[in-house]
Structure 1
Amino acid sequence: MTDEPGPAERALYLAAARGGGRLRPEDLGPADRSTVAALVARGLLTPTANGYTAANPRALGDRIGAELRIRAVRLLLHAERLPGTLRPLAHAYEALRGASGADGPGAVPSGPVASGPGTYEPLASGPLASGPVDTTDIRRRISELHTECKTELLAARPGHQPADRLQRTLARDLALLARGCSLRTLHQPATLDDPAALRQTALRTQQGARVRILAEPYERILVFDRTVAVIPAAADRSRAAIVTDPSTVAYLVAHFERDWARATPADRHLGAPHPTTVRIGRLLARGLTQRAVATRLGLSERTVAGHISRLRDRYGARTLFHLGWQLRGEHHG
């Protein structure tokens, strides 16, 4: 039996309601027997001496809701336990990957970059590559890094990004944003010249991603949680390297932040802002604080902060005061 009444059950219950909340045996046909039995099992009909009486559906809703919440808690607990269950397998996999020069089917090919244990992890090919190469290894490793990301992903993607490539990474980007991580991406103007790629970018920004456009050369890079970076390891980008050395990662983050500061917000390319963003902007222009805006609109402060962040990007505002000043000028100009 499913959680909710089916069409036949709904129809029969409504018929009982129209009949004053009662069903008499003479009102039922042979085909109704199984439907009546299901309604009784759900608690929507109560047998009486003269037939059946309709029961309050809210009780069923409360019971099913409680059961669903219990299921959800069990699933969450299972999700919490799963990484620990798989950890021994992950350790074995990582040990295999770190075994340089190993022979056999599980051997990991050595790459062009090597510097100290745990500092670089060379990969043979992947989405950083350009050209007809096998991208399986790097795609798998970057997918793992996306899954493990806890707070922030910084992405610099020079050159044209085709819509199909953006589509391939959409699900994991949206999953990352849904976990509460932040996502900042640098593109060059060529990407947003493609309407299909523009739509893909808009799908991310609607969920809280921030995108800027930099019309000058820069290097391709991914940085996860400011602790792990993925960079090209060959001039033709047919190889990549995973960098974990803290000083090197900090250097790469500093370069990203420098480029980000010079880039232009992409919102103007992505059409009108979300209606909620517009409402928040109007309230900020009237001088309300972030907390007051959240209270007025019945939103969480975290949600309001996300909309404010997109407004700051759109207007190039450095501070909330600067943003409010610009919005007041727009609304009163």
Structure 2
Amino acid sequence: MNASSGTESGGASTGILSEEARALYLRAAANGGRTASTEPGVALPCAELLELGLFIPDVDDPSTMTVADPSRIAGRLAGRWQEEALALLMRSSSAPKAFQDLSHAYGAMDHRTEPGGAIEYALGVPEINQQIESLVENAAKEVLTAQPGGSRPLAIIQRIVERDVLLLHRGVARRTIYQPSARYAAPTRQYVERITEHGAEVRTLAEPFKRLIIVDREVAVIPAQDDNAKAAIVRDPAVVGYLIDSFEGLWTRSIAFPGATEVPQEVISRLRTKILRMMIQGVGHRVIARSLGISERTLARHIAEFREEYESETLFQLGWRMAQHPPAHLTSDDVSLQESEGGNAGPHQPQS
């Protein structure tokens, strides 16, 4: 039965009968209650009316349809559907009990985790994602996230946006840190714009940092391997407190990201400063790109601009000239950073 294109009857859309089937019944009723099923274009609506019982084939001529009393059919359908609804309701109420032994078995399962007192180790991306989803969905007060890298896959963005909006509506605070490359990714910008409209705060930071999730200031999830195939789920209050301090340090140094298309000049300047500093330190291009969450093509574009500014033909010449004459904003950035930290190095980022 095709009930997907229901029309209006008496001012209300029923969703039970398609527009074509309704029109065919009305036309048959106006024609003395009979119509031919062999007419062009009536095969599908005729079959729909037959299935509902609104059409009855003539005994002498099966190709001729006779209309049935809709009131009688409506009463019969209502009774049948009510019985089905009651059966579904009873079935749904029995589901927890039916799955109780399965739930016990799942709870007793190893889950591919390794015991560690206040720290557990989740192994494999599916298990890690399942653990994170459970923690975030059950958050009561706050979720803090440091998410390095660039664009996030569209499928992930679509899956988490509604979840995060529901969290915000429940009064759960949401703060997220991305790397500047996230500003160039349309799906991430749309996600950020959506959640900031509902009260979330998002910033970007042009420096390397590790992935970090903190829920309700009670539990944290950090990588336990460089390939993110193993994660540590930390509940020790002292360690979680340290990770919160680390996150707040990142947050203080980051720049607001409301999801707008235009990238602020301050963001570009800080990103270029980080690139220059790492180049002067002799860090390889691939490592620079991975650390700052940008593509190697984007890095190459910035380096080409540096070569133009320094009138350098080769990378060796560029490195030599930058070492001899560092950009003013590079040295001033170092001074301001030392002043803001009281001359001491900042806290180490959580290591896996």
Please identify the structure whose Cα radius of gyration is greater. Answer: 2
